[in-house]
Amino acid sequence: MKTTIILGASNKAERYSYLALNKLEEHGHPIYLVHPSLSEIREHKVYPELNKIPLNSDVKIDTITLYLSPKHLEPLIVEIIKIKPKRVIFNPGTELPQSYEQLKKSGIEVLEACTLVLLNTNQY
């Protein structure tokens, strides 16, 4: 199972991040949700910031999937690198090419892809 952080989680059923939450659950992936003004989505705790997620040496983050606009995402790249996920998925509309090299130099795989498509096609 690939532990995943959804950065830009939403409680609105029509949002792609909400659909990704459903698909990740369907596939049994452990998840952490991040949104600055939500405290819970369904039964899941939502953290206001990446650095508020209680990570320790036993928790390895495989994927951070992004659902934020590039202007909101740019200041978070350093926090993403501190978490050391194996990969970061830039979903459509979140692309931030100027950050890709920085992430790659930190040993993080960068994907411009759709999390929903990856899950639906068993490529996640």
Q: Where are the alpha helices (DSSP H) in the chain?
A: 16-26, 70-73, 77-83, 100-105, 115-120
Domains and CATH numbers, the chain: 4-120 (3.40.50.720)
Confidence of residue 42 (pLDDT cuts 50, 70, 90): very high
Q: What is the pLDDT of residues 56-72, one digit of tens each?
A: 878 899 999 999 999 99
Q: What is the pLDDT of residues 87-123, one digit of tens each?
A: 999 999 999 999 999 999 999 999 999 999 999 999 9
What are the tokens at 57? Answer: 């040496």
Question: Which DSSP letter does residue 107 get?
Answer: T
Helices (H) and strands (E) in the chain, counts: 5, 7
Q: What percentage of the chain reaches a pLDDT higher than 90?
A: 95
Q: How far apart are the first and last CA of the chain?
A: 10
Question: What is the average pLDDT score of the chain?
Answer: 96
Query: pLDDT value at position 58?
Result: 83
Confidence of residue 44 (pLDDT cuts 50, 70, 90): very high
Identify whether the C-beta of residue 72 lies closer than 8 Å to the C-beta of residue 47.
Answer: no
Mean pLDDT of the 18-36 span: 97
Specify the pTM: 0.95
Rg, Å, the chain Cα set: 13
What are the tokens at 39? Answer: 């405290």
